[in-house]
Amino acid sequence: MPNNTFERTELLNIVKRVKALVGAQREIADKDGLMLNLSSPRLDKRVNKRVNKGKQPKSAKKSSSVKQVTLEDLRKEVLNCRKCGLYKTRMNIVFGEGSRNAKLLFVGEAPGFEEDKQGIPFVGRAGQLLTKIIVSIGFKRGDVYIANILKCRPPQNRNPLPSEVKTCTPYLIKQIELIKPEVICALGTFAAQTLLATTEPISKLRGRFHIWRDIKVMPTYHPAYLLRNPSAKRPVWQDMKKIRQAL
């Protein structure tokens, strides 16, 4: 064993360098499908270049940045958001609620009066109907996650402007990336068209799964539409049965 501080420091530096070399070799070999061969000149050249530059392996960088962002961090960011004009008229932001491990995520359009007042999504009459729909397929409201495209209420519940949708959607995308649901149920025209980047009407989109970033998306009618058109409950029930079967 080294018997003075200088020798111990040197030994630690050598160990660190060997670890960095082996880590970088593994990453490059994995990425390129190469056999891990410590005597490969091709591999050595690339590894030395990376280690000498003092770069971290890409995978290590990625995992540390993923760990840093949580739903709570994102919620705090939205709390202070002023990226579009809706911050001026909101009472509360409506970030979303539910299980962070939800397999099923519902996406609506935007908060209404009650949601704006309470800061919780889908709490008005349409929300109560959504809760019944969730229970009808064997879940509790707390098992799923519920969010909207817009986190702030448009005045008088007007339709969201394209610029507002464009500005706010990245928050929803980040929520989806963090929760990683197996199925997304897009409630109504705005949610379905925004997620699927289409202008097709909800009547054409509903009834079948679409794929968005490897996640199944089932568009269906918005609960508020069901309150005005009770005959649409039947197709919604058919869509919900498909979701239940997929989970």
- Which residues here bind ligand SF4, judged by CB under 6 A? 78, 81-84, 86-87, 93, 150-152, 164, 167-168
Indicate the residue among 93 and 144 with the shorter CB distance to ligand SF4: 93
Name which of 216, 214, 148 is nearest 187 in CA terms: 148
Put residue 96 in one of left, alpha, beta given phi > 0 → left and psi -120 to 50 → alpha.
left
Give the nearer residue to ligand SF4 in terms of CB position, either 71 or 240.
71
Shortest gap between Cβ of 164 and ligand SF4 (angstroms)? Answer: 6
Contact 241, 209 (CB under 8 A): no
Following CA atoms 17, 22, 27, 33 in sequence, which dihedral angle do they give, to the nearest 10 degrees?
A: 150
Distances (CA, A) of 137 to 131, 237, 239, 241: 10, 9, 11, 7
Give the position of tokens 């961090």: 73
Q: Of 86 and 195, which CB lies nearer to ligand SF4 in the complex structure?
A: 86
Closest contact distance (angstroms) between CB of 80 and ligand SF4 is 9
Q: How far is the CB of 200 from ligand SF4 (least distance, A)?
A: 25
- Of 187 and 236, nearer to ligand SF4 (C-beta) is 187
Output the smallest distance, CB 213 to ligand SF4, in A: 21
